[in-house]
């Protein structure tokens, strides 16, 4: 763990530093980073699907719910495609998709839904976004 913190602290952060190279979203990331994040995403989504309540079949699905669901599935596709191909855009997609999951949890609370799964959803989404951000910092 101390080596990881030393690496984070010693990473150049200013564009005037000659050691800083403009990184592309197409850059290849190490398997250790993409594999760890893939496992985290699979575990997080499995857990979220396992604890989320089933929808009420008598209730219609609103257009807002459909748009949010479509955005989530599209962001998950970007995450798994990017991380599976070991590209940096998978890390950026991980940040966006994690924030989308957390934001959907906040919207559930605002809409009046109740249950322990709401703070869990917010926590899992925030954690996955943070892991994506850490991966961006490390690569």
In a domain, 10, yes or no: no
In a domain, 1, yes or no: no
In a domain, 122, yes or no: yes
Contact 49, 121 (CB under 8 A): no
What are the tens digits of pLDDT across the range 40-94?
999 999 999 888 887 777 888 788 888 988 999 999 999 999 999 999 999 999 9
Range of the domain at 124: 29-53+62-138
Contacts of 132 (CB under 8 A, 6+ apart): 37, 91, 92, 93, 94, 95, 98
Assess whether pLDDT exceeds 80 at residue 13.
no
Distances from the Cα of 100 to the Cα of 52, 53, 56, 131, angstroms: 16, 19, 23, 14
Q: Check residue 14 and give its pLDDT.
A: 56
In a domain, 4, yes or no: no
Count of domains observed in the chain: 1
- pTM over 0.75, yes/no: yes
Q: Check residue 20 and give its pLDDT.
A: 58
Contact 96, 128 (CB under 8 A): no
Assess whether pLDDT exceeds 60 at residue 139.
yes
In a domain, 101, yes or no: yes
């Amino acid at each position: 763990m101390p080596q990881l913190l030393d690496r984070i602290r010693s990473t150049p952060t200013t564009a005037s530093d000659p050691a800083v190279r403009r990184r592309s979203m197409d850059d290849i990331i190490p398997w250790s980073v993409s594999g760890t994040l893939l496992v985290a995403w699979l575990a997080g989504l499995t857990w979220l699907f396992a604890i989320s309540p089933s929808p009420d079949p008598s209730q219609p699905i609103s257009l807002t719910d459909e748009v949010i669901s479509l955005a989530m599935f599209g962001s998950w596709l970007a995450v798994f495609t990017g991380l599976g191909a070991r590209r940096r855009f998978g890390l950026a997609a991980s940040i966006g998709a994690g924030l989308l999951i957390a934001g959907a949890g906040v919207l559930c609370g605002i809409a009046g839904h109740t249950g322990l799964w709401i703070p869990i959803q917010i926590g899992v989404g925030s954690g996955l976004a943070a892991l994506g951000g850490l991966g961006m910092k490390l690569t």
